[in-house]
Chain A
Amino acid sequence: EVQLLESGGGLVQPGGSLRLSCGASGFTFRDYAMSWVRQTPGKGLEWVSAISSTGGTIYYADSVKGRFTISRDNSKNTLSLQMNSLRAEDAAVYHCARSSGWRSDHWGQGTLVTVSS
């Protein structure tokens, strides 16, 4: 069974940083691209970033480019998202997702990021 477990969310002040992690199990992690997608309660889905299976190809949404960094460690089956210069509009539940051909077929429960002073 595919399992994705996010961690690292919390309360941070505007301008602060957080590092999200996603532990994967139940599939061969190194064979799949991975993505981060965020959702504000009651709102829609916003694609944030994606990384290829080897880490050699990386994409970002314009809204986070230059502030967020996605990475993966295939030896530890872990996906990460380093978030710097956080803004109020970055507050959301962040989901990691297994991606096949850049579409996402399994999602984690998510970790809540709150940006407030």
Chain B
Amino acid sequence: DIQMTQSPSSLSASVGDRVTITCRASRGISNYLAWYQQKPGNLPKLLVYDASTLQSGVPSRFSGSGSGTDFTLTISGLQPEDVATYYCQNYYSPPFTFGPGTKVDMK
């Protein structure tokens, strides 16, 4: 099975900061990687799929990159409404595992 790891597990940043979250797959998954945002008390929301394609309606300050085993979610200018936990997910090969999550707080 493919294992997904994320780093850091949590971070604090200020409004306007550039935030980068990393996701690593234990073996290559091409670009079959999704990023989800889960705000406190809310359902997960799909942000990015195919590693770099922004889901409709997602602000352009979010971007994804990577291929193979190493992936990145970047928020280019953190906003207060971005406080959430972010998860990556492999959908290249079942089981379609999620990463453990990265919690983003405001400093």
Task: Show the binding face of A for B, using Cβ within 8 Å.
Answer: 35, 37, 44-47, 50, 59-62, 95, 100-105, 107-110
Task: Show the binding face of B for A, using Cβ within 8 Å.
Answer: 1, 32, 34, 36, 38, 43-44, 46, 49, 55, 85, 87, 89, 91, 94-101
Decide if A45 touches B98 in the complex (CB within 8 Å): yes
Decide if A47 touches B43 in the complex (CB within 8 Å): no
Decide if B91 touches A102 in the complex (CB within 8 Å): yes
Please name all residues of chain B whose beta carbon is closer than 8 Å to the beta carbon of A104 when the two chains form the complex: 34, 36, 44, 46, 89
Decide if A103 touches B34 in the complex (CB within 8 Å): yes
Q: Which of B32, B85, B89 contacts A47 (CB 8 A)?
A: B89
Assess A50 versus B43: contact at CB under 8 Å? Given A44-B87, A44-B100: no
CA distance A44 to B88 in the complex (A): 11
Q: What is the chain B residue whose CB lies nearest that of A35?
A: B96
CA distance A60 to B94 in the complex (A): 8
CB distance from A42 to the nearest CB of B (A): 10
Decide if A59 touches B49 in the complex (CB within 8 Å): no
Q: Which of A35, A46, A107 contacts B43 (CB 8 A)?
A: A107
Output the residue of B32, B38, B89, B95 with the most chain A CB within 10 A.
B95
Decide if B101 touches A45 in the complex (CB within 8 Å): yes
Q: Which of A37, A61, A103, A108 contacts B91 (CB 8 A)?
A: A103
Decide if A109 touches B1 in the complex (CB within 8 Å): no
CB distance from A87 to the nearest CB of B (A): 18
CA distance A61 to B99 in the complex (A): 14
Decide if A44 touches B95 in the complex (CB within 8 Å): no
Please name all residues of chain B whose beta carbon is closer than 8 Å to the beta carbon of A61 when the two chains form the complex: 95
Assess A59 versus B94: contact at CB under 8 Å? Given A44-B101, A45-B36: yes
Assess A102 versus B96: contact at CB under 8 Å? Given A45-B101, A95-B43: yes
